[in-house]
Amino acid sequence: MMFTTGTPPDFDKRWSGEDIKGWTWNDVLPFFRKFEHNLQPSEYDSHYHGYSGPVTVSNQYYLHDIAKAIVKGAAEAGFPISKDLNGKDYTGFANPQSFIK
């Protein structure tokens, strides 16, 4: 199952407002880090990821050739490629992280 936290604009523009407190990106990010146990700490920015939570998150161990071709084709067509959809570069094509145990 793909792991995604959503994007800062999702929280800042859609889920927060004058009458909704505590739902900005900066409010919820600590909770995402708290529950995540990312198995590749050296590959990801610790500002966006947690490494000791109860939910195991990892890169997919197997990527089908079609998935690789989609990302390669997107790059060749000029679309942005993201190494980390749950980090600073949250838009673009990527091979997503997954809930893996």
pTM comes to 0.83
What beta strand segments (E) does 1-101 contain? Answer: 36-38, 55-59, 97-99
Q: Write out pLDDT tens, residues 26-68.
A: 999 999 999 999 998 888 899 999 999 999 999 888 889 999 9
Give the start-to-end residue ranges of the domains of the chain. 8-99
Architecture of the domain whose range is 8-99: Orthogonal Bundle (1.10)
Residue-level length of the chain: 101
